[in-house]
Chains A and B, each alone.
Chain A
Amino acid sequence: MIKSIQLNFTKIKYAGNSVGRDIRVEVEAFGKFFRVDKRIKAGETKSIDQEILRLETVQDVLQSDLAINVIEKDLLFSDTGSLKSSIKIDVVSEKSQILRFNVEVMESRSLLSKLFWGGRKAIFELEFEAIIGDVERYIPDTKDGWFLTLNNKDGNTSLPEYLKLILRYKKGGREYFMLTEGVNMGELWSVTLKNDGSSYLISDVQHGPMAQATYSISRKILTLNGINYKAADDPKNPWDKGVYDIEIPDYPHGGGLRYSEAKKGTVWFRIGHDDSRYLHPGLVSAGCISIAETERWMEIYSILIKARKGDNRSVGVLKVID
């Protein structure tokens, strides 16, 4: 199973004698180099909370050589202490692991100071935290809003853009993942890797807050983010006034192909969780709320597709008023 490991430099504790206040810590591990400067007095403990590196691995244990240098910066006589060790992270057992390393720094100003005050030694306790987590990814954006994948039962299904998922493993040129939201939540799916071995799935997606739309039955107007859109409903299958969830899109609705100006017109948003009533581009309605200004569909789509209510099912709410 693929896991993400985030290694943070969390704390520095300054014990022993004082060798100065301006401390630099340099860390090299897992092929990465990190440096932080901190002003700290002897006897103090200060939090750092800086990310050193982030890795993804399928291994149960992650191990690397570790090199730490602690330097008390001085114009003339900088004092340095070093540690060569190894770092070992158990990826399977715990979600958070604390790792501590001590580095001694001897003051080396001059022979006189050594003679009169003896050798002064500071001990720096450096604390790191390894956070183990799932690897989150998202369905990428596509021309028509759908991304075709296979499920673990050998069927194929299209998934909507920006759907959140957790990577599980890679095998045979495919990536396997579990959906964490939408109608197919909890199922295992797979997608091929690109020819160069990279992934189609994306990571730089920020879901927005839930969308709040209003539909006026009497005016036949949908309002989203203060902007009005002409719509149609079916008077013989009227909407009850109230608040409905707007669902994350479920599957491609082929009727939208006839509205090529809508661009992603096959992506419909179900209103409520029970009936087949959707928000979609269309000139007439047999029970849905059809956005008659079909060429403006992308304005609505772009807001809804990245919005999330927080229930893993919905992008927002629709308030139906008179």
Chain B
Amino acid sequence: MSGKFFSKAIAVIFGIIIAISFLAFTLCWNKEEEVSQVVKQLSQPVIKWQKITIEEEPKKFLISLRIPEVAIYTNDSLSEKINGDVAGYIGALKDIFIRGVKTAADDNGEASTLNIDTEILLMSPRLISLAFTSSDHFSGSKAGDPKRTYLIFDLEKGEMMREGNELFRDDLAWAEAIRIMKPLLLSKYDGEPSCDLMFAPKQEALSASCIGVDYSNEDKGPFSIFGDIPISAIQEFVAPWALKEIFQPGES
């Protein structure tokens, strides 16, 4: 009698242990589900624009900036990070200009100017792609060509892309795509520039720029060129997920 009772008690205890384990597993599973759901449920970013004008005397300069302010309502920290990176990047361009005004610009009463215009090239569920077109003119010198640079943000990873290699199948594919894009971009330029290629995705294409110098030019000044690269030129190298983002109908 006592033996049967004992066996039943053991069975009940085992049952309880199994039930607790199952519940714990289920809870854990649900927690993971919740995390992945948070990622998936990022709200579509909203961008507000700020126009900033900075003037300074006596060494006159005038800076006009159009800066985006990204808001992702379900993820404040990601919004802050993106806005911080953008502010840091534009701040660096502004700092370079102001130091240049001090050391290079003529003090002839004319104002040196910097204009940075920002454009959203692509805003998809996973990517925010921004282009910055900066034009500067230092008093006493010729205005330089406008320069276009880019910042790309991967919302899923929550970080800025440094080189954009993540958009490609692998690093070799990225390098191969660079080798294809650079001569394509420079094909209409009649000179021998030495420049670095930069690019960012836009709707069904890549926007690309090359900034450097052209010593074959008699001015030997800074060189800048930009344009679009059709995605068909490098499609085979682009990661499938990135192709999906570039081709999906959305805001651009």
Contacts and interface: CB of A to CB of B under 8 A. Distances in A.
User: Which of B105, B165, B196 has the most C-beta atoms of chain A within 10 angstroms of its own C-beta?
Assistant: B196
Given A254-B147, A282-B163, A150 B104 contact: yes
B88 interface: yes
Contact of B162 (A156, A283, A286): A283
B227 interface: no
Contact of A149 (B93, B104, B172, B220): B104
Interface residues of B, number: 45
Nearest to B175: A286
B88 A287 contact: no
Contact of A254 (B149, B178, B218): B149
A144 B92 CA distance: 9
B104 A148 contact: yes
A103 interface: no
Contacts of B144: 155-156
Contacts, number: 119
Contacts of B220: 151, 153, 155, 157, 184, 187
A42 interface: no
Contacts of A250: 194, 213
Contact of B213 (A146, A148, A191, A251): A251
By secondary structure, the A interface counts as loop
B36 interface: no
B103 A259 contact: no
Interface in A209-265: 232, 234-237, 250-251, 253-255, 257-260
Given A150-B138, A259-B162, 4 more contacts: A144-B96, A150-B141, A153-B218, A254-B149
Interface of A: 142-144, 146-151, 153-158, 172-174, 183-184, 187, 191-192, 200, 232, 234-237, 250-251, 253-255, 257-260, 276, 282-287
